[in-house]
Amino acid sequence: MNVAVRAVSPWLRRHGWFAGLAVVGGLLRLTAMLGYRPALWFPDSYTYVVTAMRPRPDLVRPAGYSMFLRLLEPFHSFAAVAFVQHVLGLATGVLVYLVARRWKPWIGALAAAPVLLDAYQVELEHLLVSDTLFMFLIALAVWLGLGPLGWRRALAIGLLLAAATLTRTIGLPLIAVVAFFLVRYGGLRAAAIMLAGALLPVAAYAGWFQATYHRPGLVGSNGVFLYVRTMTFADCAVMRPPPDVAVLCDPRPPGERPPPQFYAWDPASPLVKLPGITFTRETDELAQRFALLAVRSQPIEYATSLLTELARTFTPGRPIYPDKEVYDSYEFPATTPPPPVRYVATVGAEYAEQYEQGPIATRIEEPYAGWIRAYQDVAALPGPLVLVILLIPPVAAATRLRRPRPDPPRDARWGLPWTLSVALLVVPVATAVFDYRYVLPALPLACMAAARSLAPRPETPVAADLPGSFVNNT
């Protein structure tokens, strides 16, 4: 026992701040699991379960998260799924700390705190949605990308990015971003190996999608969601669409229209009114034609709308958006949520009962549920602080350039996590809609970047002197 204490004590003295935060984060997640059993449901959850139990590509969402559910299906427990997602959340905090601790351990602990302690992060992990898995895969890929780049590590980064892309399609543009930085950090060979590891699995999935629906792509909803995006500003009097496209116009002024999500799901939407299901090839292509015409005809309005929607990320107070139903899905509920009523969701609920081999309704257990609700009332990362975290790296870099005497060398590799975090915030807003849950996967990367931008460059070689490395890292 004394030997174990002597072995652990030096580690705790050095990493005590992080260990304390990790313990608190673990207790928060345990409280959520005790208070809400087996897990919390989101409208998308049921579609994921259908794909898990009846494997085939989905028209709206890639099947990566469904395969994750299928992997855990032998446990017949959504509580086990929630537990694994909580572990992935804690593991993401560990990755942030590993990247950020280079300067000082307490700085690393501070960088990991939003992932470990934010109440909405804990709630997101307890929801049966793809974002926690996606967040962990991207964070792991970045952690590998900031280390010595041998061919095995480059290949692993590619495979992780492929898994992330097949979990959320926003991962696809991230592959190009990572390739750009790997050319700089590891050379063309590292980037080529990474691209092979990323694109081959994605191409295989695209082949499965093609064989199933006889149309190219990973999903069949890109045009629909871009249409949804443009309905915040699209003016058909300005666009002058051809008659077949004009059926998607909304005569109401943009300021009087419902939230963008209405146009993809509500029966009163011009798009949903069209014959057949919303995501047929013909409907998706028609929606894409409308959306591209709107962007070409009203580029200033599109840019203004994009900035307006992006600003919601940094708004104080977390105002209700897009509507109370969706907003409430990100709050720990005080009462048991009602069962689903839409057809697809009811089918998913039947499959979910097969998965669970029992009832799936969320059971609220007090006092644990009350404790985590009270915590959520006070422990959310403010929007303005997200903006501050994002601004730290470019401001730190600009400040060093303006000084007459250069500072000691700093670690310049903050660019990879910073660019990815910005992309994760901008791309959904540019191509679909703003959603509060889309912000959370960007935060670990932003915190990594902020800490790395302030940390001194390591004095020892990072890659050139290590076996299997391509070139010297900068």
Token pair for 319:
């105002």
C-alpha separations of 374 from 116, 255, 361, 370, 467 in Å: 17, 35, 22, 6, 51
Cβ atoms of 283 and 271 within 8 Å: the answer is: yes
Predicted confidence pLDDT, tens digits, the chain (474 residues) = 555 555 566 767 788 899 999 999 999 999 999 999 999 999 999 999 999 999 999 999 999 999 999 999 999 999 999 999 999 999 999 999 999 887 678 889 999 999 999 999 999 999 999 999 999 999 999 999 998 889 999 999 999 999 999 999 999 999 999 999 999 888 999 999 999 999 999 999 999 999 999 999 999 999 999 999 999 999 999 999 999 999 999 999 998 999 999 999 999 999 999 988 889 999 999 999 999 999 999 999 999 999 999 999 999 989 999 888 899 999 999 999 888 878 778 999 999 999 999 999 999 999 999 999 999 999 999 999 999 999 999 998 888 766 655 544 455 689 999 999 999 999 999 999 999 999 999 999 999 999 998 876 554 433 333 333 444 333
Distance between first and last Cα of the chain:
44
Cα–Cα distance between 260 and 421 in angstroms, integer?
24
Cα–Cα distance between 288 and 219 in angstroms, integer?
14
Tell which residue, 331, 333, 324, has the closest CA to residue 363: 333
- Number of residues in the chain: 474
The H or E element spanning position 156 is helix 151-165
Q: What pTM does this model have?
A: 0.92
